């Protein structure tokens, strides 16, 4: 038997912490020290040991546990929402919806998972033989998750893989330790066996060693291009499967409309979801010239009318803080650089005084390909609007981006909208809808938005051994 190397140890002298800071006030709420190397090794060993038993249980039993996880998400939606709101500034109603969506995701895979993992008979070249395509779990998986959807991002990775029989080590964002702890408690209470889902407050060095360890069979990351590139490089060096969901700068094309104001209001509401901090948000609005000025005027009116508010209150006419002061400062700098380069700022873009992470919602036009903002992802409450004179110009603008996550096309003529949507270079194209959200809808992108898919039938087809079983009769 080949010896399995353990994680190298290091002296436990410096223990940086995962820190929960309320972005509305800038105050420290909680901190959790990072794991020691001994703790990281223990978590990996436990996940590896749990895999042997978990994969041997009938898929229906694993699905029943997933169903209970979904039930607890629904039961604890208010509790989970309060944590996310204080930890990353998400409006309370949106945080509650996120927890409820997690309930739907686990329920989906509990119901459909056994059929999606079932053996699939194949035609054979021999009259007497029988062939079956089997879907078998592969082992311990490492999940590296972000702060913008502290529950949903985990659920869409964990649910299908737990039903398959894989086990999970989960490294959450350094700013979300309380969300991570609440998730661990929920899965424990639902009956997920010890070690089968394990939160690890790991350092970056520990993550690199975990990916390299032969007991880890794959890694899934949702985050920045920089993080995705680093993780993919390590995974590739060690021949590990990776799924990456990275940035996005989704086009939102409005070809025509019967009600310009209503269309602009819908576009703005979409852009402000999660205070603009969503990978597949409509970061680039492309509007036909005949309605462009009125569309921009309504966006500006919507943005200018908002004032800072308490995200736990969610009062009408207010906007929430971004997830951190640093994120707000970065976005403010991007806006300022665009304006200095010649873009027009119609409203917003200013940081509130004090330690809070409030950035006034902004509307930008006149962004050109010579500006950095044209190519960057503006991750926050900024509506960037481009003018197009033809369907071909709109399509060229839509595809002129290094990203390829999602895209949407709107028109009173569905056939016209579909014809353009068919040519979008993205992983998720929508006609007369901002997005198709649902547990059964695959999520993922192309180009620099990453690769692989989560949710839906494809969500169970990433970290799986698609094994051929042939029987010669």
From the list 204, 400, 23, the residue with the least C-alpha distance to 384 is 400
Q: How far is CA 253 from CA 35, 78, 301, 395, 408, in A?
A: 46, 36, 20, 8, 6
8: left (phi over 0), alpha (psi -120 to 50) or beta: beta
Instruction: Give the catalytic positions in this structure.
Output: 245, 279
Q: Residues 148, 323: contact at Cβ < 8 Å?
A: yes
Strand order from edge to edge, sheet including 167-171: 197-199, 167-171, 140-144, 216-222, 241-245, 450-451
Q: In angstroms, rounded to a whole number, what is the distance separating the alpha carbons of residues 172 and 177?
A: 7
From residue 472, alpha-carbon distances to 125, 126, 127, 132, 469 in Å are 11, 8, 9, 12, 10
94: how many CB neighbours lie within 10 A of its CB?
18
The pair phi, psi for residue 348, each rounded to 5°, is 75, -160
Tokens of 32: 């959790």
Nearest CA to 410 among 257, 296, 248? Answer: 257
Measured distance CA(9)–CA(293) in Å, rounded: 62
Residue 429 in contact with residue 444, Cβ under 8 Å? no
Pairing, β 140-144 against β 216-222: parallel
């Amino acid at each position: 038997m080949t010896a399995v190397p353990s994680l190298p140890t290091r002296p436990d002298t410096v223990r940086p912490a995962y820190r929960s800071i309320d972005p509305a006030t800038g105050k420290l709420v909680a901190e959790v020290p990072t794991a020691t190397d001994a703790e990281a090794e223990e978590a990996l060993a436990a996940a590896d040991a749990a895999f042997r038993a978990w994969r041997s249980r009938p898929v229906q039993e694993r699905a029943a546990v997933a169903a209970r996880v979904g039930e607890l998400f629904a039961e604890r939606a208010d509790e989970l929402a309060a944590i996310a709101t204080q930890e990353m500034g998400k409006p309370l109603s949106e945080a509650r919806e996120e927890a409820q969506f997690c309930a739907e995701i686990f329920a989906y895979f509990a119901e459909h998972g056994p059929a999606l993992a079932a053996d699939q008979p194949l035609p054979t070249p021999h009259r007497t033989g029988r062939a079956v395509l089997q879907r078998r779990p592969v082992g311990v998986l490492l999940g590296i998750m972000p702060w913008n959807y502290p529950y949903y991002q985990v659920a869409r990775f964990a649910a299908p893989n737990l039903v398959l029989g894989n086990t999970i080590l989960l490294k959450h964002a350094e700013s979300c330790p309380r969300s991570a702890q609440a998730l661990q408690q929920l899965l424990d209470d639902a009956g997920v066996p010890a070690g089968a889902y394990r939160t690890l407050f790991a350092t970056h060095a520990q993550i690199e060693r975990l990916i390299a360890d032969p007991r880890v069979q794959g890694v899934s990351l949702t985050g920045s291009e920089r993080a995705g590139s680093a993780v993919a490089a390590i995974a590739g060096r060690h021949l590990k499967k990776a799924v990456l969901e990275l940035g996005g700068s989704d086009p939102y094309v409005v070809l025509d409309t019967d009600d310009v104001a209503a269309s602009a209001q819908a576009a703005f509401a979409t852009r402000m979801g999660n205070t603009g901090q969503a990978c597949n948000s409509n970061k680039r609005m492309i509007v036909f010239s005949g309605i462009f000025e009125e569309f921009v005027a309504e966006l500006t009116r919507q943005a200018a009318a908002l004032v800072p508010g308490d995200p736990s209150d969610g009062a009408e006419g207010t906007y929430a803080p971004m997830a951190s002061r640093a994120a707000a400062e970065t976005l403010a700098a991007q806006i300022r650089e665009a304006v200095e380069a010649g873009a027009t700022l119609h409203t917003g873009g200013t940081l509130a005084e004090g330690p809070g992470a409030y950035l006034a919602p902004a509307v930008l036009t006149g962004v050109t390909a010579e500006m950095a903002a044209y190519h960057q992802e503006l991750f926050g409450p900024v509506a960037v609007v481009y003018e197009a004179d033809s369907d071909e110009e709109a399509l060229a603008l839509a595809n002129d981006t290094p990203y390829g996550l999602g895209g949407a096309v709107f028109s009173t003529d569905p056939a016209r909208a579909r014809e353009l949507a068919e040519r979008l270079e993205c992983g998720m194209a929508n006609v007369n809808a901002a997005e198709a959200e649902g547990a059964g809808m695959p999520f993922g992108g192309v180009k620099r938005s990453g690769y692989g898919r989560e949710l839906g039938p494809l969500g169970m087809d990433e970290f799986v051994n698609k094994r051929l079983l042939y029987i010669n009769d």
